[in-house]
Amino acid sequence: MPLTGGEIRLEHSHDGRVAHLILDHGRYNIITMETRRVMAERFTEIDADDRVQVVVIRAEGEHFTSGGDIAGFMEVEPVDLTDLGQDVTAAARSPKPVIVAIDGYCFGVGLELALSADIRIATDRSRFALPEMKLGMIPGSGGTQRLARLIGLSRAKYHVLTGERITGQQALDWGLTSHSCADAEELEKTVDEVVGKLLGYSPMAMRTAKEVLDRGVDGPLYTGIELERKAYSMLRASHDFAEGVAAFGEKRPPRFEGR
């Protein structure tokens, strides 16, 4: 049964193994302070649910999201905004792989939400932007840092300083997205295919790979390699690795248990 709260629905599929977080707040899916709070709460539920192996964030309507509730920021005290990026970007802290399905606008905090996820799949018509400069502001939920790490400092500076939109093709070419789909129908099909692949893998191995990638990329190369080596050694002792090797030898699909 779907759970609701704020402007986000939480639904499950694949016998509870896939959690769907669905933005549903009008045509533009504006992200309010309530949306931020509920996003963090939903991820707390998802992260504690051992059944869930994959998370998908998607949106109802014509656009993923046009961004935040601009007027609402003036109702919040500046001191209360110091932890702004800790709620809507909870996907970055989740140990589970998070996919974002994007169609239409993906602006402002909506792009910051997408940047905090692991895999971004979008339609050709999608447009991405951090337009805060037009309001005399800068992105405040990780946008400057995550965008620079994905598309390079020079491009990130240009798009943050000008607020200019990134096209679907540019997003694909620059590594902002992993797929660019012709339309919403192909987007859903592609997301389903990726979800199906991830469900066939060891939850423990995916959790470890996500952590190694996220932690390693922010440090020196030798630190990342050392982290990878130790994680590799740890997984060598797992049930899932033994099962994977056995299944390979017996030419059958593996039965991973996440341990």
Enumerate the active-site residues.
Answer: 112, 132
Which one-letter amino acid corresponds to residue 2? P
* Residue bearing tokens 């209360």: 80
**What is the rounded CA–CA span in Å between residue 30 and residue 59?**
11
Q: State residue 142 phi and psi, 5-degree precision.
A: 95, 0
Give all strands of the β-sheet with 127-129 in edge-to-edge order.
105-107, 127-129, 166-167
State whether residue 2 is helix, strand or coil.
Answer: coil
The two structure tokens encoding residue 209:
């790979």
Burial (Cβ within 10 Å: 0-12, 13-18, ≥19) of residue 230:
exposed
Closest C-alpha among 116, 121, 85 to residue 100: 121
CA–CA separation, 93 vs 43, rounded Å?
A: 9
Sign of the CA dihedral running 102, 103, 109, 112: positive
